[in-house]
Structure 1
Amino acid sequence: MKIFINLPTWLGDCVMASAAIYGIKEKFKEAEFIFFGSFVAGEFFKDFPNSSFILENKKRRYLQALFLRKNHQFNLAFSFRSALSAKLILKLLKAKKKFCFDKTIIKEEHQVLKYLNFIENALSFKISPQTLQLPIKAKFNAPLTLKNGKKILALNPGASYGSAKRWEEEYFAKVGLYFAKSHEIILLGAGGEEAKICTKISEILAQNGVKAKNLCNKTSIHTLTQNIALSDLFLTNDSGTMHLGAALGVKMLVLFGPTKFTQTSPWQSKNAKIIHLNLACMPCMKRVCPLKHHRCMKDLNPQMVIEKLKEFKT
């Protein structure tokens, strides 16, 4: 049995699709999987059992599909992406049955359920349990207490989707300063704009006598997962990294602004809380605030977040 899967592009979507993909694995226990997709998707699923991965080359993706057509006969082919390019790749493959996720189906339900329904309807079976699973295994499964008696507060101030999802750098710094007596501060994120954000937060903390460990753009997905697992508290924007925290079950507070928390909130995580305002313009689902005031995040002040974090028993 050979199964092709075109993976979601982004880390968060990969995590949310994991319940459905492990459901396929549970139904076809002996199947060989060939994954296709972005670098991030490949890194996330690289330890998936009995699988191989092909990194998508956007300029040569159709040649890659033709190569797969020539060398593989698939029993099943799935695309968790619904872009035209993904549909064309699926069309080029040799497969007995092909299924493509349709994101145009408008349902006010969580993205995890959308992916689960996609696979359940395709294969006519019920996936159980409907839980997120990480092919990447964290080294520790509990918060770490350091030699100085402190625990770890992890701050994740980035969000690849756009600036509208990001809380203010100064606000993250104020939270770090409040918890500095009881927690060591670590900063998590990717490169580019996120690196600049983490550097600014680190500088603000340093100016106030607090040394943070800036791990932005210095971790693989595997070590990023480890660092989240070791944290006593995890403060994050709505992001792919947030979904790792949900899968790990860490004590996590998620800051929501322009996005629909009903569809992308932490999935089945007893230790996760969300915080958001209720403005008339929310959720706009835009990458940049169309009204240019960004009140959904700016009016969500640090003291509100600190009080919500204090609800966790650290």
Structure 2
Amino acid sequence: MQASVSNMKILIILPNWLGDAIMATPAIELLALKYPNAQFTFVGSYVSIEALKHHPLCERAIVDETKKAPSRFMATYRLAKELGTFHLAVSFRNQIYSTLLLRFTNTVICCARASWHSRLLLSHTPKIRTNQHLVEQYTQIAMANVDNFTQEIPPLKLYIKAKSFEKPTLGINAGATYGSAKRWYPERFGEVAAYFSKQYDIIIFGGPNEIEMAQEIEDNLKALHVNNYTNLAGKTNIEELCANIGGCSLFITNDSGPMHVAAAYKVPTVAIFGPTKYKETSQWKNEKSIIVRHELECSPCMKRECPLKHHDCMKGITASEVIEAVKKLEI
């Protein structure tokens, strides 16, 4: 199908997780550069849609709820027919129903990571090395139908306006939705926040399932006689979360979705990594970013909970290490 430049309709299936969706934004920006008058339709999870629907070229943003249907196959077919046909379709999800969704739209040029189902049903299915940054992997998917692609990959990009705070603000994010193994300890976050409380007002971030953890940090701050903090855990939607993180002067976080939000706004960040592959999911092109991690024989295990029950990859990281890392940022 030959597309006119004026109405290049592009379907994009977003990753499910907030951080992964944000790591797909450089690939989306490259598509926007290649097709300046593109009309994007985003399909994804609630969190990925809420974060990315503000893109100026986004014409439609649809939360994929086919998983809830009695027959996901039929629900996927119906969603595809509702969407219609596109000039180009890209899936950042390596999942059979995403492949089927692309196929059912009758779009000719469909790009997705190589798998048994994508190779069978779609036109462009590059085999992509997984030992490179996820941003690079997503870019190779999006550019699969572009010959000899050599363009530099841009930074992460969110179109939600950052909040403006009156005083320098330190954001603390102790959560990590993936699992407990990725989480450093609330009392140590509290210790670090208390250390910098004379220089910064403090915001404690967290999702609806992290309220208890955030309360622990708050209790630690109170015990250390710190009172210039705000606890926003469970109190923000995705747009508010991004806006608040974007306004921070400094961010201290686990490997998590909010970590990538901070990277999109170039917020100076110290990121604490334990069981995850830091070379694949670290902050992308954030110049003022430092990773604190310990090299262990058992890491990265990529498990949700420590399979050896000792959690040494996180337990060994002290508050003083994180404080020293902040000092090295030269903010």
Per the alignment, residue 123 of structure 2 pairs with none
Per the alignment, residue 81 of structure 2 pairs with 69
- Structure 1 ranges of 4+ moved more than 6 A: none
1:36-77 per-residue CA deviation (whole Å, 9 max, x = no partner) reads 111111111111123211111122354254243256221111
Change (3 A) 1:38 1:107: closer
Per the alignment, residue 45 of structure 2 pairs with 38
Q: 2:282 aligns with which of 247, 252, 265?
A: 265
Query: Percent of aligned positions with the same letter in both sequences?
Result: 39
Change (3 A) 1:106 1:71: closer
Name the CA distance, whole Å, in 1 between partners of 2:273 and 2:189. 14
Per the alignment, residue 134 of structure 2 pairs with 111
Query: Structure 1 residue 134 and structure 2 residue 142: aligned?
Result: no
1:227-258 per-residue CA deviation (whole Å, 9 max, x = no partner) reads 22322221000001101111111111000100
Name the CA distance, whole Å, in 1 between partners of 2:170 and 2:240. 16
Query: Structure 1 residue 52 and structure 2 residue 60: aligned?
Result: yes
Gaps of 5+ in 1: none
Q: 1:254 aligns with which of 266, 271, 287?
A: 271
1:146-185 matches, within 5 Å, as 146=167, 151-185=168-202
Give the superposition deviation at 1:11. 0.8
AA at the equivalent of 1:59: K
Name the CA distance, whole Å, in 2 between partners of 1:129 and 1:284. 28
User: Quick check: 20-29 or 203-212, which moved more?
Assistant: 203-212
Gaps of 5+ in 2: 1-7, 116-126
Contact kept? 1:154, 1:186, Cα under 8 Å: yes
Change (3 A) 1:256 1:188: same
1:134-173 per-residue CA deviation (whole Å, 9 max, x = no partner) reads 1223244xxx452xxxx22110000011000000111111
Name the CA distance, whole Å, in 2 between partners of 1:91 and 1:175. 50
Per the alignment, residue 291 of structure 1 pairs with 308
- What RMSD over aligned residues (CA atoms) do the two structures have, in Å? 1.9
User: Quick check: 128-137 or 291-300, which moved more?
Assistant: 128-137
1:81-92 matches, within 5 Å, as 81-92=93-104
User: Quick check: 299-308 or 214-223, which moved more?
Assistant: 214-223
AA at the equivalent of 2:48: A
Count matched residues: 306
Name the CA distance, whole Å, in 1 between partners of 2:238 and 2:222. 27
Contact kept? 2:173, 2:253, Cα under 8 Å: yes
User: Quick check: 213-222 or 5-14, which moved more?
Assistant: 213-222
User: Quick check: 273-282 or 90-99, which moved more?
Assistant: 90-99
Give the superposition deviation at 1:295. 0.5
Per the alignment, residue 207 of structure 1 pairs with 223
Contact kept? 1:120, 1:127, Cα under 8 Å: no
AA at the equivalent of 2:215: T
Secondary structure, aligned partner of 2:181: helix
Secondary structure, aligned partner of 2:40: strand
Secondary structure, aligned partner of 2:61: strand
Contact kept? 1:234, 1:253, Cα under 8 Å: yes
Per the alignment, residue 256 of structure 2 pairs with 239
